[in-house]
Amino acid sequence: MQRLYKKTKIMDYKLNNGGCCMNKKGCNRNSTQKLSTFDWMCDLPETQKETDFIEVQFKNTRKGYFLNSTKIPLEKGDVIAVESSPGHDIGEVTLVGRLVLLQMKKYNVNPEKMEVRRVYRKAKENDLEKFNEAKAKEHETMIKARQIAESLKLDMKIGDVEFQGDGNKAIFYYIADERVDFRQLIKVFAETFRVRIEMKQIGARQEAGRIGGIGPCGRELCCSGWMTNFNTVSTSAARIQDISLNPQKLAGQCGKLKCCMNFEVDTYIDASKGFPPKEIPLETTDNTYYHFKTDVFKRQISYSTSPNFAANMLTISPERAKDVIALNKKGQKVDKLEDTKDEAAKPVKIEYESGVGQDSLTRFDTKKRPNNNNGNKNRRIDNRPQQARFDNKDNKGNNAPKFQKPIKRGENGSESNEK
């Protein structure tokens, strides 16, 4: 019974922390945990025991690499106790095998030049109870820490608090625009919380990643979903992609420029290599045209007669713009900016086209019926009975041929067709 209770507690820890307890060897597809790594070497048996190093993840984005010196059989998703200073910490195994060495090389972790900590054991029931007690105090500690920092009049914001697995140490994550002297703050924290204090500064993007949220695209924030390295984003990325320089639209929830602006910059740069420079105007016999905007996908350039606003807009291909620039360098001015070949080769505009064929978006809409009053005005009135209207028979009851001319009776009763 005690063993079953212990297994249930460990299972609850994995589910609460987003770990995958059903698919240990695979790629952690059912995990909502951040920084999950796809182990593409998991199906190769010769790569499983290549190294004794393992990757362990703690709260949110904190990861570490530890040495399994005692050869404990560990798999992806196991909850273990690892060495820390001081005491021990509780984390979840996120990667084993040869892929760990590649991850250590990626993050510049050299075991020969730095001290590598060891794995103690798999987490026991007592370890999980201490960990849950320490985790329950994090929110209350963060609120008190903010009040203490405000009373000391420090220009900083404490964004998150993380307790160590054994509860002997607490990491305070803070944000500050300038350098902060928090020596007095650490003393007050140590007297108030009775734990070892560690201060760690983070940026606004990292804070947004720790808090999480939904972006304007309707999906989870990239910083809280999968991003680990935050590169600087400048307004030049918006200019390259011809995005409107609106601060309200370019800023993310962290108040900085959106990280997704850097995702397609390289693609735009490669696609715009065949376009002429934007600074060179085009000379014609009538006007001088200045660059207004570039459509990389349609391979079109729009020019305006005014350098500041849209006036007499003309859209041409980049090849035509290069030809005009080459003629202007020779001292020649073209009569017309557009090329006749471009006008003849204009594509037919299709409003909508599906994979099956060209279908209208309104094909299932109900058509409006005409008003009965208006329809009766144009309707020809026929006073004959309903049966007589559709009866194609002569006066004697014989079947009359279709389109037969009406029969006219004479004075003596004889029948004759009208001519």
Which uninterrupted H or E stretch holds 375? helix 372-377
CA separation for the pair 339, 319 (Å, rounded): 10
296 — pLDDT class (breaks 50, 70, 90): confident
What's residue 47's pLDDT? Answer: 63
Q: Give the dihedral sign, CA 238/244/250/256.
A: positive
248 — pLDDT class (breaks 50, 70, 90): confident
Instruction: State the fold for domain 137-202.
Output: GMP Synthetase; Chain A, domain 3 (3.30.300)
Higher pLDDT, 32 or 132: 132
CA torsion, ordered 110, 116, 119, 125, to nearest 10 deg:
-110
Listed by start position, the domains of the chain span: 2-126, 137-202, 209-271, 275-344
| φ, ψ for residue 88, nearest 5 deg | -135, 165
CA separation for the pair 202, 61 (Å, rounded): 12
149 — pLDDT class (breaks 50, 70, 90): very high
Residue 325 tokens read as 């620039």
Cis peptide before 86 (omega within 30 of 0): yes
What's residue 11's pLDDT? Answer: 45
Residue 90 tokens read as 């509780």
CA separation for the pair 84, 293 (Å, rounded): 57
Helix (H/G/I), strand (E/B), else coil: 47: helix
409 — pLDDT class (breaks 50, 70, 90): low
What's residue 354's pLDDT? Answer: 52
Higher pLDDT, 366 or 212: 212
Nearest Cα to 68, choosing from 86, 40, 48, 46? 48
Which uninterrupted H or E stretch holds 135? helix 125-136
Tokens 């602006």 label which residue?
261
Q: Say if residue 196's pLDDT is above 70.
A: yes
What's residue 8's pLDDT? Answer: 43
- The residues with which 64 forms a beta bridge, in sequence order, are 56
Helix (H/G/I), strand (E/B), else coil: 186: helix
State pLDDT tens for residues 77-109.
Answer: 899 999 998 889 999 998 888 888 888 888 888
Which uninterrupted H or E stretch holds 142? helix 138-151
Tell me if 246 sits within 8 A of 258, measured CB to CB.
no
